[in-house]
Amino acid sequence: MLLAELVRGLNITNVKGEGDIEIKGIAYDSRKVGKGYVFVCIDGMTADGHDYAYEAMKKGAVALIVQKDTGMNENVTVMRTDDTRKALALVSDRFYGHPSGRFRLIGITGTKGKTTTTFMIKAILEAAGRKVGLIGTLGTRIGERELYSEHTTPESLELQMLFSEMAEEGVEEVVMEVSSQGLALQRVGACEFDTAVFTNLSRDHIGEREHASMEEYLLAKCKLFKMAKRGLVNLDSAYASKVLDEAECMTMTYGLDEHADISAHNIIKMPHNVEFDIDSPWYGGKFSVNIPGRFSVYNALASAGVSGLLGIPQEIVQKGLERVQVPGRAELVDTGRNFSVIIDYAHSPDSLENILSTVKDYAEGRVVCVFGCGGDRDRTKRPMMGAISARLADYTVITSDNPRTEDPDSIIAQIEEGIKGKDVKYICIRDRREAIRHAMRGAGAGDVLVLAGKGHETYQIFSDRTIHFDEREVVREILEKMKMD
């Protein structure tokens, strides 16, 4: 494709060289440049692509797209624009032939529920015989085939490559988690969304390297509803009215509020599932999801809403919801003992409250909570999560999550501020494996141990290393050693 065609529609403010150059590929990482490529200079959080322009040219780049001066005088075409992130999204989409226009793209945004909702929609669509793509926190899937992806919402170039592969393989719908960072950083720019879903908003992703405030965080989420043809909004969220006001598409609402377009009532919570009735323009009657908790009802309502808009019959929706399984979301680990272990990704105040409240509803013995907080993330939530565990768990084990560059003991001390001085039982054990072992060895009949924060993750990130850490494996290893005692 000619460079001039590739950048058509971009706000080009200055051009040096010719536009009728044949472009063979795109890169924003100079290490991935090939002969005949255009190199898009992105000014990122840790590195500035403009500093690598010369390296890209030496590797074969025939054109640069920049947003500031590179200081180069070499014989290479340079096009200057006001936003190279937007440029990367547009040229990537155009280079791969606008693949998101070749299937229905469903985007899920919100603080919690994105992963579970995408899996629910995928399960429903596959029950209807459709070939489905999925992109999100747990990776990328084309049908049953799993692919690696580094971010919840991949960078625009990788995203369009994935979309192109999915379209070539005959995928009919793609369900993807759309993170606030993905929206703010133009990763989904130029995408054609059929349906957008807003699940909720709570304090998360606020910090130096993420969003400066809740308002900025919310407005990033709202961008999705300016890109989609239609949208579904959780009416029970305190931020629903703002999302609806900002939306530039047809919208419907869901929730437990009877005024929602898609609502649930007669909710019956059980240890391993939840049952409820749905009232909507398309469906009415009893539904069941094998993921316990009130929050599962919200995710199911969002999934049913998307399914209704796509014309999926009720019996297929019911079948899909009954089948769905999501790794690391209220995941029950078989212990073969008289106590239970649940692994959950809960890493924010709201999500921790949700899983502990759910477990408290049915636990016959104690609720034991093992959790920590991630380093280099919002510090204000740490004492809040300590207070939540103090209120809902009978025993709390404060430990490490992914401390990253922070001191693990300092993180633990901040969590402890929310629990210290209260008439509750707790202990601080920095080593997460030891913390889990302590909880399991002290478990009694009917106790439910909630291992919160890691969920699907199979690693732990420290300042100087990343280690393999899969809580399923850890639990099994501890159980084997307990047998020998």
HSE, side-chain direction, 13 A CA sphere, residue 219: 8
pLDDT of amino acid 209: 55
Pinpoint the residues of the chain covered by CATH 3.90.190.20. 331-484
**39-63: b or e for each residue (b if 16 or more CB lie within 10 Å)?**
bbbbeeeeeebbebbbebbebebbb
For domain 3-95, give the CATH number.
3.40.1390.10
Condensed to tens digits (0 to 9), the pLDDT of residues 48-61 reads 999 999 999 999 99
Which CATH code, of 3.40.50.720, 3.30.70.20, 2.40.50.140, 3.90.190.20, is assigned to 331-484?
A: 3.90.190.20
**How many CB atoms are closer than 10 A to CB 14?**
10
Whole-number pLDDT of residue 62: 95
DSSP-based three-state secondary structure for 137 = coil
Give the Cα separation of 400 and 398 in Å (integer).
7
Q: Tell me the pLDDT tens digit for each residue of 436-481.
A: 999 999 999 999 999 999 999 999 999 999 999 999 999 999 999 9
pLDDT at residue 133 tops 80: yes
* 367-371 and 448-452 beta bridge pairing: parallel
Q: What was the pLDDT predicted at 212? A: 56
How far apart, in whole angstroms, are the C-alpha atoms of residue 31 and residue 382? 39
Lowest mean pLDDT among 154-168, 208-222, 232-246: 208-222
Give 7-56 as a DSSP string.
TTTS-EEEEES-S-PBP-EEESSGGG--TTEEEE--B-SS-BGGGGHHHH
Could you report the per-residue pLDDT of 181-206, keeping only the tens digit for each?
Answer: 899 899 999 999 999 999 998 755 54
Task: Provide the pLDDT for residue 148.
Answer: 72
pLDDT in tens, 252-294: 999 999 999 999 999 998 888 999 999 999 999 999 999 998 9
Q: What percent of the chain has pLDDT over 90?
A: 85
Return residue ranges of the chain for CATH 3.40.1190.10.
Answer: 99-323
Q: What is the mean pLDDT of residues 401-421?
A: 97
Domain 99-323, CATH: 3.40.1190.10
pLDDT at 91 over 60: yes
pLDDT tens sequence across 342-352: 999 999 998 99
Worst-scoring range by mean pLDDT, 70-79, 188-197, 418-427?
70-79
Residues 105 and 193 sit within 8 Å (Cβ to Cβ): yes
Average pLDDT, the chain: 94
Residues of the chain with CATH 3.40.1390.10: 3-95
- Confidence bin at 74 (pLDDT 50/70/90): confident
Please give the pLDDT value at position 208: 53
